[in-house]
Chain A
């Protein structure tokens, strides 16, 4: 085989975390190869095709080719189901830019106390809660950096649970809002709840090659056609490519990282997904950024004679303490004939955001229930997808409604009301019953063992979720919503996943050091949310971006000192 070029850094995955590392390294002058299993879809190619983007596996692998095995407790026994049987995909977006293309972009920073949950609240039985090896102050500059580079719009209002910030306000004003916020704000005020403007990784104004949001009405689960959404593909990769230092290899699936000694990774073994040809990509440093559950799987699948239990697994902790976002959601209907304070036409205006969050219950001190860590809440309209909305609530008891009665029901639902929704984000406590391993029998189409995810939530997560859901239902009631319901459970949000490669100071109990560098292997880093020992009570992606920028600075330092 011809001698392959030696890149300064090889990044596996082009999503949020991979993009942030590539951005910093290429700007610092290093030659970077980015290996991405998915294809490139350009901004001009995206559309709001519900069937393709939301109902078929087109931007994610076909589940008969590549899948996960999900292990859940049923009647006290672990039951394993391959996702091709259940249809419950754990892929979140496998194209250049990863799932960041499809996010809704509701962004929050973690709170300083999220970095020291154990010291603050003490141990919780059955949960592996630990403090982080870094503090909020260590990452704050990078939150700010992400705000500027990725482009986060919003409006800062002081609040007891709003983390401190080093700049007075966001680089861009908030995105435009539907008039429903008047009703929501008013209802919150009446109940003594503070509603805050949601920071969003969406540009409200043009910036460089990216155009402002045009309020397309179909944001989450869809690629953005203006470049407003702060995906890695729009916000980071163009600048990295412009340096001339980035080689972006799409359709390149990494099967294994191959070590050359106990302390050194030599190359990535990848397969061209079009031709099936294998190739070796050599580098001085390797950065895994494949999204938490797949990153752990890749390291486990890279077991070899130097590392019989997988790369970076001398602690035996690799894959352990996988976490998701805990909580649940609820919604209610605002009916034309019962609407207060705003006009029905204004409510029905499409595209504009609700843009409100509540942090009042981030930490709870309740006279009856005691003191405990709570969570955050986002308000939004029900997802505007037409097919999925048309399919909801079409049963009369056990009987499917059809015929003229169905027509009347569906038309009324779409024309006489709009549903307002809340989503709760609280800690998914890390436990021994939530981890990634590789399946002993199931293999993907490349012949590699698939990731097996044992998933179980801690009862505390549901308790917290229910506590907050009750408060949110009150807000919807105050707004005059009808048919209010909520659902809180231990079912994971598969698009918000973290953990599996905990960082920590002790190599015996953690996979990565505080810079997300493998304790055992100095030229191996993991840049995505895998490092998080606890998840905080907000969606992860602002933290993923910020931490990846922080890790990238360390990698530059390592490369500069020629430590690898």
Chain B
């Protein structure tokens, strides 16, 4: 006999907070997307951030209840800080972006934030395609390494 439901306990998200954070995120979404595209450009041996829609993955990931809420706050705040330092970041060419990001990296805060964006983008490129990025397993094919069998059919073991 097995008693008890088989669905797990879903962590509850503080709703008011999430709404305000989503508004903030939407404002700096293009900044994060631009940083990801700079880190994972076209014509690289890895698929580009843009072609893999890593920004959509990032949005969905950080707002999922399984994501550490402190890190979510940090992802948003770090982008706000970047744009406060470099107001015209979005219109910069690649060389200017490189300079701006390397300067940001000189601060401990900036270097942590860039590492976090790197982690999120790598998670996008190399997680199962069920999460929306790594389209047609392009990330996996580039490195000839593939996720194990069975593959997930839903996100986060839902």
Contact = CB atoms under 8 A, between A and B. Distances in A.
A260 interface: no
B38 A402 contact: yes
B51 interface: no
Contacts of A39: 4-9
A77 interface: no
Interface in A35-81: 38-42, 45-53, 55-59, 62-65
A455 to B, nearest CB: 22
A51 B130 CA distance: 11
A355 to B, nearest CB: 19
B118 A402 contact: yes
Contacts of B140: 386
B62 to A, nearest CB: 12
Of listed B46, B65, B148, residue having the most chain A CB within 10 A: B148
A527 interface: no
Contact of B44 (A214, A252, A400, A407): A407
Contacts of B41: 403-404
Nearest to B118: A400
Nearest to B66: A56
Contacts of A57: 66
B84 interface: no
Given A40-B6, A50-B147, A386-B126, A45 B1 contact: no
Interface in B3-50: 3-9, 11, 38-41, 43-46
Contacts of A413: 143
A201 to B, nearest CB: 19
Contacts, number: 173
Interface string B105-140: 100000100110011001101111011000000001
Contacts of A248: 1-4
Contacts of A45: 157
B6 to A, nearest CB: 5
A96 to B, nearest CB: 9
A168 interface: no
Interface stretch (A216-224, A422-430, A508-516): A216-224
A390 B126 CA distance: 8
B153 interface: yes
B149 A410 contact: no
A414 B118 contact: no
Interface residues of A, number: 65
Interface residues of B, number: 54
Nearest to B41: A403
A386 B147 contact: yes
Interface string A468-493: 00000000000000000000000000
B144 interface: yes
A415 B144 contact: yes
B93 interface: no
A314 interface: no
Interface stretch (A154-162, A178-186, A298-306, A391-399): A391-399
Contacts of B149: 48, 214, 216, 225
B88 interface: no
A406 B39 contact: yes
A419 interface: no
Contacts of A398: 105, 111
Contact of A386 (B11, B66, B130, B143): B143
B85 interface: no
14 contacts: A39-B7, A47-B148, A53-B157, A58-B66, A248-B2, A248-B3, A249-B3, A250-B4, A386-B126, A387-B123, A391-B118, A399-B105, A407-B40, A415-B143
Interface of B: 1-9, 11, 38-41, 43-46, 65-70, 102, 105, 111, 114-115, 118-119, 122-123, 125-128, 130-131, 140, 142-145, 147-153, 155-157
Closest 6 CB pairs of A and B: A48-B148, A407-B44, A414-B143, A49-B152, A218-B148, A402-B39
Given A47-B153, A216-B149, A414-B143, 11 more contacts: A45-B157, A49-B130, A52-B66, A63-B68, A65-B11, A87-B68, A225-B149, A249-B4, A391-B118, A402-B38, A402-B40
